[in-house]
Amino acid sequence: MSLTSPDQERAKRAAATAAIERLAEWKAGPECALGVGTGSTTNCFIDMLHELEEPPAVLVASSEATRRRLEEAGFGVTALADARRLDFYVDGADEAAPDKALIKGGGGALTGEKILVSVSAAFICIVDRTKVVSGLGAFPLPIEVVPLAKEVVAARMESMGGRVTVRPELSEYGNVILDVKGIDLSDRDSMEVEVNNLPGVVTNGLFAAHRPKRVIVGLPSGGCEIL
């Protein structure tokens, strides 16, 4: 489903607003620790965080871009080593399937995002309607690999039917990101593990083991749906 730019922005804001409302319902106050993802929809969420009567005192960023955005909005940012655990994690996705499995990492922050979601008690995913798909895979699967393993992992993906593109920019951690299209993602739980087990892979953008508690889908009307 394609949306015009104004409609898509309205849908992103609707999803972000619903996430703020959900956090308020769940009493996410100053005693809570909140992880914040990376991307345009998450930026809408950051811009609305002040709407919480008492925002969480501990905010942990999944990337340098998110850290800067939070600080520009007037929030302090806590290192994950100091927070240790997160009560909530809010992030977007590049694709969201009906079973709440996701592809993430289009912005290159997949490793930080996966680390934060792994220590979060509740993951809330916010997307606009264009990100909801019947099956994952139209969006390339990002795979972060150490530089030495780039050719080896790319060859393995090609042997599985994948078409591999190497991103020109490195990740925040100095690693290479491969974007892979064409592999079978119908069994995403197994595929996430299989790819992660390849020597040299840091992680991949399949979020099947850590699916969100809620996927909030913003609509161009300003309303929302919940997966």
Catalytically active residues, by annotation: 113
- Please name the residue that has the structure tokens 């240790």: 84
**What residue spans of the chain are helical by DSSP H?**
5-25, 40-48, 64-72, 80-83, 110-118, 150-159, 188-196
Contact status, residue 35 vs residue 60, Cβ threshold 8 Å: yes
Whole-angstrom distance, CA of residue 203 vs CA of residue 200: 9
Residues making up the chain, counted from first to last: 227
47 token code pair = 């811009």
Contact status, residue 159 vs residue 167, Cβ threshold 8 Å: no
